Structures are given as structure tokens and as C-alpha cells.
Structure 1
């Protein structure tokens, strides 16, 4: 049966000062306005740590590093401590002497981790010393708490210290047998991890006696970074030297994390040189402006097929 030739009536125009529901959302998400901000639903924040000093390290502490801390300076000058994870996955705690710790590896989170952490930090700032911190339902939709970008001094660098266990949980605390037992159990799950000096968020980890990896959270936008990695792959310059292999990459909170397999018997510090040399090659590839060749395009497709999105 033939379709009716009758035309559909045109969609009503938006009133002056309003956005057409069928128009692309001004936020740049690619969705129509009615399915994005016009629906009353806030879309996920692709890069929740964008704008914070050390964004790649924030991603690393959230996803890769088992035990680490970093001092944070607030906009009002006060200092608190960022931790990879706190006992029981708590979002924050206030010690008896008043020190505040915020855990980036929350047990639950919403589509904007920065707001979740900001909400926890704001609650900790109001909590009395030694008392439990109750930030409310962290991860609840529509949370009106502040984002980290609103609370922190954005001129202060993020200086990460990697620990080989969770001993910092009980620093200066007279822990009882139950807390000591919980600490021992948590320590048993910590993988040996080290941050390579001078390379940003490059972390060596040994998950077993016969395997080691380098995981390097990169700050570059995904598309130019993939182009650069493809150029190196096509030129057979994507390894870190003999006995190493590029294993793939994953996306986490808007950033790409390349991963290499390494010999487990080589100490972490010995990979600083090869990684530095790779960084120089990568910088040159990032600066290249010529279109990708056929071999580089094939290499790029292969790299994409080996990427996994964590968030």
C-alpha cells in the first residue's frame, strides 16, 4: 500500500528565548535538547576531574592505585588529605585531632564523581572531630552538593605518595584488635605499585610473581592521542623495549590509559628511562600534522579494538 502523500505539520517553533526541543542540546552532548538537559536529567560528566591540578593522577587514584595519599589545599587555605580508599569504602572521616581524609574510591557514586567527593568533603568540614561523617546518600541523583572544583585551591599541585599498605589508616590512632585485623586483611589485597618519577601519572604494578604492567594515564584528548599511538604502532615503536608488549588501553573518566606488559623481575625504577624515551617519541607523534597513512589507519583500528571503557 502506498504511503500517504500528506505532509506532517511542521513542529511548533520554540517561543522566544526558549530552545527547540528537537534542536541539538547546547551542552554539546550530541543529543536532542528534549532528551538531554531539556528532560530534567543531567547527562553523565565525561571528565569529572577536568580542571583539577593533576587530573590524570585523580583518575589513577580512583581506578588504578590501591594505597596512596595526597595533601589537598582548600580555597580557604585549610588542608585535608586525599586517600585512594578509606576503611569500608567510607567517603570521608575526621580523626580525633581534626585531620580530614577523603576517599576517592567511593563505594557508590553518581554520574559526577567530583560532586560526590565535594559533597563528602563539605560534610566532613562540618563534622566534629572524631565523629562519623554523614554526607547523605552519596551517588543520589540530583545531589546539590559542591564539586571539588568549587572547594579546592586550583593553583596547588597534586603530589601523590604511593604506599605499599594501608598503614596510613591508623596513623596516630590507638587501634583495637578488630581494627588491626581489618587492616591486616586489607593489606593482603594490596598489589605492589610504584609511581614512576617525572612521568606524570605513570604507575608500575605487579599483579603476580610472573607479571608486571605499566599503566600510564594520559592527559591528551582521545582522538589525537590515538592518532599518535597509531603512528608509533605502524612504525613498530609502541613497545618499551625488549621483553615488553603493548597490551592495549582503557578509558577512564574521559582519559585514555595505555598499558604495557613488562617482565616481572625488573624493578619499577628501571622502567623510568624506557618510559621517558617513549614519551619523547609520543610527543613527536602528537606533533605530526600529516594525515594517517593506510598502515597507520589500520594500526589505529587495531588499537581501538583493544580499548575497554571503565567509566
Structure 2
């Protein structure tokens, strides 16, 4: 099945349910950055939750940026998410050494670290952006986002997220679940949600088991009264282009552009968010320089 987001209301419409199958977009991130297993799991989890958070935005012009830095060996994780659920992102050290817990389970918390913060900045088209920051709880990503929603956005939230990679580092399955309790939820509703969360298999296992089944079916299997609101495809997407990079070059000092022409005989720029490379010839650089004169 293709990558998809499913939104639903459950528990008599008192609880929001968000689901994502993100296997392909995490695989694309893995391929673009040559991510080692722990980096793939950490960035993949953040991309998955970021996609769901982006889909929560109300206007197509809105976007958000997630920044995680636990001062672990992976460095920073940065993810941009958009209204349609598309995401892009990177981590500082894609080749971080692989750490394991028991039974070969990747130790994401060890590479992310816990001596730092998770920050979500929302560009809602207003004069100032909304920004919320919380201290990391475990570095395992899911728990950290659950704490963020509850602490920063005052929304009681449960989060389950997972990325399963094979021994060669390729992504077998990836996905996430977010449950948010609305103000009119009853104690019974909360108990039902707690029961569902307690009985959940690892999210990557669930996504693998539902590989040939829609997320709508998964929502209905989790909650008998699931009211499906929307399902839509999602993807790894970066709006970078050669034209944008040319505009970035145009902001450099004239002497720096001249040095690229005379000494380097061209330039190559790499987008941090997607690792796409753009080459500029001497002639193209001269045109950029001439437009500035």
C-alpha cells in the first residue's frame, strides 16, 4: 500500500485518531541521506509524526518545523511539515553508530540523547510564529511528542511510532498513531483509549501486518465506532529547486561569486533538507553576478 494518512473520530466522537503509513517516505529519506539504522529510525519517527502534525494545520499556506536536539551523537533532527502532510527533514549525523537494546531492538534514545529539547515552530501566516519547547523525556521520539502535546498544547495525547529496518538498513515498515482526547471526553472514553494503547503491538509491526489493508480498516479494528473523516496520500517532498538556489547565490557578496567563477569554475549547492545537488556553470554564475550589477 502507498503512504497514507487517515483521520477519524472515535469514542462517540470524543477522541481524535490520526494514523499514518510512512514506509515509502522514510525509505526515501534513508536513500537520500544514506541513513544508518539508528539515524533512519530516529529521523523516520520524526518524519512520521511531523506528517501527522502537518495534516492538523488548518490552512494550506501554514507549515511547521520540528527541531530535536538531545545532545546525543546523532546531533540535531530537523523536519518541516506542510498542510497536506508532505514532509522533508534531515539529521546532523546520518552515519551515527548503531546502538541496540535487548533482542536487537534499535536504541534510538541513546543516539538522540535526553539532555536537550524538542521544539515545534508553527508558521500560521501571522505576525509572529507560534513556538513551543519541552525537555526531552526519553529521546525515543514517541514519548517526547506525547509530552509535547500534553505540556505545550495542553492536549492529552498518546503517541505510538515505529520504524522497522532490515539488517541492510532498508525500511520494512514505518508508521505512527496519535490519539488526542477532546474536552468532552468521559472517563469511559479515556479508559477505552488506555485499553487500546496498552494492547498495541509496536507500530511498525502493525503497519507491516496491514500492508495490504487500508488504514481505515485499521482504525475500525482499533475502535468499533471509528468515524472516518479523511484519508489522503502523503510523501517526502522538498520545494527546493535550481531557481531557489540561484536566488540564494544572488544574496552572496560579489567577490564570493567572482571567486566561484575564476577559482572554482562553477559551484555545487546541496539542499540540507533533501540532499539534492544543484550544479552551476561559470556562465550561469556570471549571469547571476551580472543581474546584481
- Do the two structures share a fold, i.e. TM-score over 0.5? no
Higher helix share: 2
Q: Which has the higher contact order (CA 8 A, sep 6+)?
A: 2
Q: TM (normalized to structure 2)?
A: 0.32
Q: TM (normalized to structure 1)?
A: 0.30
